[in-house]
A and B are shown apart, each in its own frame.
Chain A
Amino acid sequence: MFDVPRGQCVLDILGLGNDAEQVYRLLLSHPRWGVAQLVDHLATDEDTVRAALDELFDLALLRHSSEREGELRAVSPTVGLQSLLARQQADVEHRMQRIAAGQAAVAALLAEYSDRPATEEAVEAERVIGPDAIQNRLEELGQSLREELLSIVPSVPSAAAVEAARQNNAELVARRVTIRTTLHDSARRDPNAAGYAKSLTDAGTEVRTAPLLPPRMLIFDRSIAVVPIDPGNTAQGILQLSGRGVVASLVTLYEQVWRTAVPLGAAARAVDGITPVQRELLQLLAQGHTDSSAATRLGMSERTCRRAMAELMERLGARSRFEAGLLAAREGWI
């Protein structure tokens, strides 16, 4: 027999991934914690925590195979070890991809700024930073508005912002300005969002909802657009854009979203037997999104997302996601 390598020695060498180790320690010290608490405590995303749990399961397969516990069948150590190795490799590749993506983004930024005169930015794009400055700017833009305001509101703003928007909207409608607002589909389920949507329609705004929205935007008279500087962190401030090309593109994007959106009061419609949400889910997964990032973009839980996927697979009679993808493409759903 061997002198040295027993299962756990090999594991010492391989080690758990950093995330898996942290999750493991937390699970031992806080046995009642669930995925949500782990995500919170580690300030990480759900994918990371779930990948760590997968890794712990691989470890469990390994440990309990070497001990042949109870009536459980022994799993060849290669199965668990291969999973661990594959994950370490994927981890390295993921980091390299992030570095490459970072380099590409920096290169693109440098290229953009180097061949553009500094003055042009001041004319066509202006940054407004700070809550008061933003509120003042939006009021100014509202006052000079003549015909139409288009807005995309992916998540319901704070109560104060809602009240301010309601008053502004009522004044604009009184001045015969047309207002069209697109909210996320989740506004149909969330009571706060539903209240916001109702106050909009009461004020005379046309409201629709869509399953997938671009970041927040406001378009004034099809000539000025306002978007967040960083959609992931709206506190950073806003960007006021007046370049014709940029605004025209945003208006086109808006109209596309509006066409597929469903008026508030009408039920979300099913096209070709699949719901708009299922269609968006298929498209996001086809683009390479993970379950949890697709779920986030669709404003649903990962569990609901998986359930929708299982329903789709049942409908298509698919036995794997790969097959489901092929069949969905054949149906023209992707």
Chain B
Amino acid sequence: MRLARISLAPRHDAAAGVDAAALVDATWAAVRPGDPVEHVVARAVPDGFEVGVFLQSADIPAGRDTARALMSRVLANSPTMRQWRIVADADVPLDSLHHGG
């Protein structure tokens, strides 16, 4: 599995509140058949959300594209989520989590 990380921020101060569990649900709902998504996790941080998408993807660009396209659909799917935007995304190499790695 690969891990893609996506940072979300509100478009404006008054962005509607969403909780991390609702965001995970909305993400699963936006997964299309054939998307190699294995697991989704979201954490609320002071500036918005950090979303982790674990993918069964062959290479880094494909994984990152899938994750970015997925989150774009999540944000487009509902009026509430439309008040959020993607500020950054990246592939997180799992071996980099190693001690001193």
Contacts and interface: CB of A to CB of B under 8 A. Distances in A.
Contacts of B47: 73
A229 interface: no
Interface stretch (A104-112, A145-153, A183-191, A306-314): A306-314
What does DSSP make chain B's interface, helix, strand, loop or mixed? Answer: mixed
Nearest to A61: B50
Given A70-B90, A307-B29, A313-B25, A50 B39 contact: yes
B95 A309 contact: no
Contacts of B5: 57, 60-61, 64, 72
A311 B22 CA distance: 11
B12 interface: no
Q: Which of A11, A33, A60, A322 has the most CB of B within 10 A?
A: A60
B38 interface: yes
B34 interface: no
Given A76-B46, A307-B28, A69 B18 contact: no
Contact of B90 (A24, A28, A33, A71): A71
A58 B3 CA distance: 12
Contacts of B46: 76, 79
A232 interface: no
Contacts, number: 108
B76 interface: no
A66 B72 CA distance: 27
Given A34-B1, A313-B25, 19 more contacts: A27-B1, A28-B95, A31-B2, A31-B94, A32-B56, A33-B1, A34-B56, A35-B38, A53-B54, A61-B43, A64-B92, A83-B43, A306-B25, A307-B29, A313-B22, A319-B19, A320-B21, A321-B19, A321-B22
29 contacts: A11-B99, A32-B1, A35-B39, A50-B39, A53-B54, A56-B3, A57-B5, A57-B43, A58-B43, A60-B52, A61-B43, A63-B96, A63-B97, A64-B92, A69-B90, A71-B88, A71-B90, A72-B88, A72-B90, A79-B43, A306-B28, A306-B29, A307-B29, A309-B25, A310-B26, A313-B25, A314-B78, A318-B22, A321-B22
6 closest A-B pairs by beta carbon, nearest first, are: A310-B29, A57-B52, A306-B28, A320-B19, A310-B25, A57-B41
Interface of A: 8, 11-12, 24, 27-28, 31-35, 50, 53-54, 56-61, 63-64, 69-73, 75-76, 79-80, 83, 303, 306-307, 309-311, 313-314, 318-322
